[in-house]
């Protein structure tokens, strides 16, 4: 390491975050970057720790510890510390397809496993990564490599989310002819319509797609494979097909009054918000979706938090976020030691904005909706909330969250957003391709493999592993590309 005492010499410092009162006025990104010199100092904090758990991507207690892409984090940090940003970009791009995405939306598994974090603040690897990729774009270093000679093989990829894009990038680089099909009107999948613009500016996606198009990747939008195009047609035209459709089957809340007007799945709501912003070139905000409404978000994950932040920007009267589970501990428990992923309370940007605007944390723990109440026109007007407690099932021995009798409470509500997770792949896709699925409706493959039960059909991303992170989707996309390439060519150099 270049500065062995860096973690002692410098305290952790992150880029400036625009204050809540200003950032809620728009849908622009609000995390600013440090100066290059300040970022070098942050990279100097990377310790010569011997065993860099930050890059391990190992599963511990069912959770990932370290980066699933196995980015060589200490090497990149060393190059940033030295101010050699071009080499840092080259080092990062060997293992990573899209640092511009993860440096904005990843929960930083690398930092959670950082040795420096044991007794101090972890190294700011996520911001170091963002500094590297943005420097590379600003200085014309980013490209999508192409092969001097084509292989004559054709690959279709169904879905243009992070996993599909990662697979497309590598297979195109190898010399295969790649076509990506997307059912929406714009490329990006989850990146485009599942993540709000203030978290991931859509121009960041557009500049990468432009590079991929210039390199020869073909994108076909507004085309729903399984409905608009039959799988047999794809199999006749292409040597291999990769399914990268995501875990896009949302979990519902089956309570009385569910048919009331004003209840939406979170992913549909976020899609609508972003589409209307993009269609108007950000000149018109879709205030009609949430303005002056009492909003209840069901679900405490990242998507629920994104709904909170979006509704505040759209003028909601109040926002409440329901979580079925108990409130997490504010500090690590002995049962959750480093380098496991820390199961601790996290207050994200949407919750911070709700605290600023409404004076309290929007999250209500161990609570769910028991009933939706409608007015005479069928519009949602109120919801009945019920408290939950953990109770052991005598048959299975598992603990379940069950309603507490007599704890019901009726509150005003005109908009409900269901962010309760996903149940796996959509049935019409798996049925049309006739691929086997598991009990969770994820497409079935051999362990650590990507080939489905049908010849020449592969699966990747959330459709394969279930609802997960962007960084896992990219890792899956890179790995399926290797498997497809080896099947087509007899070997792979990806």
pLDDT at 2 over 70: no
Q: How far apart are CA 47 and CA 114, in angstroms?
A: 9
Domain edge (last residue) among 138, 170, 197: 138
Same domain, 14 and 126: yes
Per-residue pLDDT at 61 = 87
13 within a domain of the structure (yes/no): yes
Please report which confidence band the pLDDT of residue 395 belongs to, taking 50, 70 and 90 as the band edges.
confident
- Express as a percent the part of the chain with pLDDT over 90: 94
Q: Are 66 and 235 a contacting pair, CB within 8 Å?
A: no
Question: Pairing relation of β-strands 318-323 and 363-365?
Answer: parallel
Q: Would you list the DSSP string of 416-473?
A: EEE---B-SS-HHHHHHHT--B-TTSPBP-STT--B-SSTTEEE-THHHH-S--HHHH
Q: Token digits for 441?
A: 């409706």
Least confident among 303-307, 359-363, 397-401, 405-409: 397-401
Same domain, 170 and 270: no
> Would the CA dihedral through 263, 265, 270, 273 be positive or negative?
negative
Q: Per the structure, how many domains does the chain have?
A: 3
Q: What pLDDT, in 10s, does the model give residues 135-171?
A: 999 999 999 999 999 999 999 999 999 999 999 999 9
Least confident among 43-52, 224-233, 254-263, 459-468: 43-52
Domain encompassing residue 311:
263-418
Report CA 482 to chain centroid distance, whole Å. Answer: 23
Same domain, 371 and 470: no
Under 8 Å CB-to-CB from 221, ≥6 apart: which residues? 182, 183, 184, 185, 186, 187
**CATH number of the domain that 228 lies in?**
3.50.50.60
Domain edge (last residue) among 418, 452, 471: 418
- Strands across the sheet with 363-365, in order? 263-265, 415-418, 294-298, 318-323, 363-365
Q: Are 205 and 187 a contacting pair, CB within 8 Å?
A: yes
Under 8 Å CB-to-CB from 281, ≥6 apart: which residues? none
For the chain, how long is the longest CA-to-CA vector?
71
Same domain, 46 and 158: no
Q: Kindly give the interhelix angle for 85-95 and 125-138, rounded to the nearest 10 degrees.
A: 110
What number is the average pLDDT over the span 102-128?
A: 96
DSSP code, position 183: S
């Amino acid at each position: 390491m270049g500065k062995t005492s860096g973690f002692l010499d410098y305290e952790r410092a992150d880029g400036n975050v625009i204050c809540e009162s200003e950032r809620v006025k728009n849908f622009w990104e609000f995390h600013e970057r440090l100066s290059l010199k300040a970022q070098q100092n942050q990279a100097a904090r990377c310790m010569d720790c011997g065993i860099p758990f930050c890059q391990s991507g190992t599963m511990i207690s069912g959770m990932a510890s370290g980066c699933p892409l196995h980015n060589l984090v200490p090497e990149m940090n060393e190059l940033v510390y030295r101010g050699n940003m071009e080499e840092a970009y080259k080092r990062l791009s060997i293992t990573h397809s899209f640092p511009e995405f993860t440096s904005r939306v990843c929960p930083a598994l690398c930092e959670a496993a950082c040795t420096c974090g044991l007794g101090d603040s972890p190294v700011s690897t996520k911001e170091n990564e963002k500094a590297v990729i943005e420097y590379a774009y600003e200085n014309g270093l980013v490209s999508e490599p192409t092969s001097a000679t084509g292989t004559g093989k054709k690959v279709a990829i169904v879905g243009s989310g992070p996993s599909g894009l990662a697979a497309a990038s590598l297979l195109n680089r190898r010399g295969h002819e790649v076509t990506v099909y997307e059912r929406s009107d714009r490329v990006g999948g989850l990146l485009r319509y599942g993540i709000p613009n203030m978290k991931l500016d859509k121009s960041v996606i557009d500049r990468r797609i432009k590079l991929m198009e210039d390199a020869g990747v073909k994108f076909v939008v507004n085309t729903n494979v399984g409905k608009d195009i039959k799988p047999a047609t794809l199999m006749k035209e292409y040597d291999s097909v990769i399914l990268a459709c995501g875990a896009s089957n949302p979990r519902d809340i089956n309570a009385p009054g569910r048919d009331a007007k004003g209840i939406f799945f979170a992913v549909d709501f976020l899609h609508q918000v972003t589409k209307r912003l993009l269609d108007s070139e950000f000149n018109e905000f879709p205030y009609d979706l949430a303005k002056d409404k009492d909003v209840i978000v069901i679900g405490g994950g990242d998507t629920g938090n994104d709904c909170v932040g979006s509704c505040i920007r759209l003028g909601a009267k109040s926002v409440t976020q329901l979580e079925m589970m108990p409130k997490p501990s504010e500090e690590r428990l002995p049962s959750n030691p480093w380098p496991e992923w820390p199961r601790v309370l996290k207050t994200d940007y949407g919750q911070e904005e709700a605290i600023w605007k409404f004076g309290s944390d929007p999250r209500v723990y161990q609570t769910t909706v028991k009933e939706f109440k409608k007015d005479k026109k069928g519009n949602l007007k109120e919801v009945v909330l019920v408290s939950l407690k953990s109770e052991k099932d005598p048959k299975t021995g598992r603990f379940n969250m069950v309603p507490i009798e007599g704890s019901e409470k009726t509150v005003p509500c005109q908009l409900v957003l269901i962010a309760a997770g996903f149940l796996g792949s959509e049935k019409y896709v798996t049925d049309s391709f006739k691929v086997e699925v598991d009990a969770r409706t994820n497409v079935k493959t051999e362990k650590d493999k990507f080939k489905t039960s049908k010849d020449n059909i592969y699966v990747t991303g959330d459709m394969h592993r279930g609802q997960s992170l962007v960084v896992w989707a990219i890792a899956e996309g890179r790995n399926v590309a290797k498997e497809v390439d080896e099947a087509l060519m007899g070997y792979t150099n990806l």
